[in-house]
Amino acid sequence: MGSGRRIVALSLTTFSFIVASCPVASAFVAPVSIASHRGTSLRGSFFDDLFGNNNDAEEKFAGLNEGAKDDENVWDASGLAAEIERRNTDGEEAEEPVEEVEFDGYALRDAILNKFGVCWDVDFQRVESYGFRKVYLNILPFKLGSRKFRHASEWDYLCHLQAIVEILQKYDLLDSVLAQLQETKKKPRPGTSPLVAVPLRLDLTEEQIDQILGPNR
């Protein structure tokens, strides 16, 4: 026991010497001594005075966690929804309207070529039967490039087809003519007597026939 007391006394003496010789250490020890003499709450070490009370630190971290949760909730509720809406809006604005391709003389030439494999001539023809006049659009047995072809060039042929298309569109007959063209099984036959054409029926009134062919035809 005596030796133990001597060791404790020697340790205290050594610690007092260090504190006396080191101002920094005495600055750390002073607050601890004052707090213990005043009877205030004891602290684990002098590091509590340096970094603050543990309870204060826990309150600060708790406040940061609550703030992070609040920020997370705000992002989920509004930020994500706003981003989705923005992307949807950008997708709608990026879409461009599709323009409808107008049917013209080139398209009629292609329809004839796809059906028969040859660019045949076409023209209106009046037929009288039992005192009534009817008009047909005939696919004639004269092909583009032949000697008997009445158009001087392919451009003249296309201009003629364009005029045919405009007349059919005016009287709302284009769809009917194209449907008959696809459904017919007949073919123009050149070199026969009489020549064999493919007639496509046109449902027209007498007034409309006069407008197309003239009153004397």
Instruction: Check if the beta carbon of residue 136 is closer than 8 Å to that of residue 199.
Output: yes
Going from N- to C-terminal start, the domains of the chain cover 2-94, 105-213
Q: Which CATH class is domain 105-213?
A: alpha beta
Write 18-27 long-range contacts (CB < 8 A, 24+).
none
| pLDDT value of position 89 | 73
Per-residue pLDDT tens digits for 130-178: 778 889 999 999 999 999 999 999 999 999 999 999 999 999 999 999 9
Instruction: Check if the beta carbon of residue 49 is closer than 8 Å to that of residue 31.
Output: yes
Q: Give the best-scoring range by mean pLDDT among 36-40, 68-72, 193-197.
A: 193-197
Per-residue pLDDT tens digits for 74-84: 445 566 677 77
